[in-house]
Homo-oligomer: A and B are copies of this chain.
């Protein structure tokens, strides 16, 4: 938390991040332990004040916080929502702009060293982490989970939890893990083809002690949406 010379901006707005990744325990969120009041000692979503002298925009602020906590520079990032009221922080009126970030499993593995010491991955159980969180962060986390689970149904979002290159089966496993149910292989394949989220990596196959699988990558760094005529 830096002090600002710029008199025009008393920091009152923070950027908070719900950073998700797939760990062996399933979908997990990164939490940090607060070191100062209020809520000292409690777990919280990583966040920080906006620095109007450093941050070009809100997304840049979110990237900076992410970099500080995890070392990752190019995550999937999506704005979730903004809350502001006088109750969420005992110090008074404050605004929090919440972002969702998705990290791939190898992002997490590679940067284990860069990760902030007081930070920890916590597996998701139901609508939260089974832990009381600082501020209104439990509610923010619940919203973030709702967004993620809803976007599984109609977007390429789950692909951002995998490394850049993956097979269809690996992707299907992520969808299944987020949805909490098994999917039909042939239907999944057809849906992905129609949705046009994926690009085969020419000539590259994943080989194991069985038939090799085509390797794919996402066509876009954003989460693409599948449009259907519903009405």
Nearest Cβ distance between residue A230 and chain B, in whole angstroms? Answer: 5
With A10-B9, A226-B230, A231-B183 as known contacts, state yes or no: A58 contacts B83, CB within 8 Å. yes
User: Interface segment, A37-45, A90-98, A100-108, A205-213?
Assistant: A90-98
Cα A191 to Cα B179 in complex, Å, equals 24
Cα A226 to Cα B225 in complex, Å, equals 16
Q: Which residues of A, 164-204, contact B by the 8 Å Cβ criterion?
A: 175, 179, 183, 187-188, 191
- Determine if B79 and A82 form an interchain contact, defined as CB atoms under 8 angstroms apart: yes
With A9-B12, A183-B231 as known contacts, state yes or no: A57 contacts B84, CB within 8 Å. yes
Cα A191 to Cα B231 in complex, Å, equals 7
The 0/1 profile, CB within 8 Å of B marked 1, for residues 82-124 of chain A is: 1111100000110101000000000000000000000000000
Cα A75 to Cα B54 in complex, Å, equals 38
- Determine if B86 and A52 form an interchain contact, defined as CB atoms under 8 angstroms apart: yes
Q: Which residues of the partner chain B approach A8 to less than 8 Å between Cβ atoms?
A: 10, 12, 92-93
Identify the interface centre among A12, A188, A231: most chain B CB within 10 Å of its CB.
A231
Query: Is A81 located at the chain interface by the 8 A CB criterion?
Result: yes
Q: Which residues of the partner chain B approach A50 to less than 8 Å between Cβ atoms?
A: 84
Query: Is A5 located at the chain interface by the 8 A CB criterion?
Result: no
Q: Which residues of A, 19-68, contact B by the 8 Å Cβ criterion?
A: 50, 52, 56-58, 61
- Determine if B85 and A58 form an interchain contact, defined as CB atoms under 8 angstroms apart: yes
- Determine if B13 and A95 form an interchain contact, defined as CB atoms under 8 angstroms apart: yes
List the B residue with the shortest CB-CB distance to A79: B81
- Determine if A152 and B231 form an interchain contact, defined as CB atoms under 8 angstroms apart: yes
List the B residue with the shortest CB-CB distance to A191: B231
Q: Which residues of A, 207-231, contact B by the 8 Å Cβ criterion?
A: 225-231
Which of B9, B56, B86, B231 is the one whose CB lies under 8 Å from A56?
B86
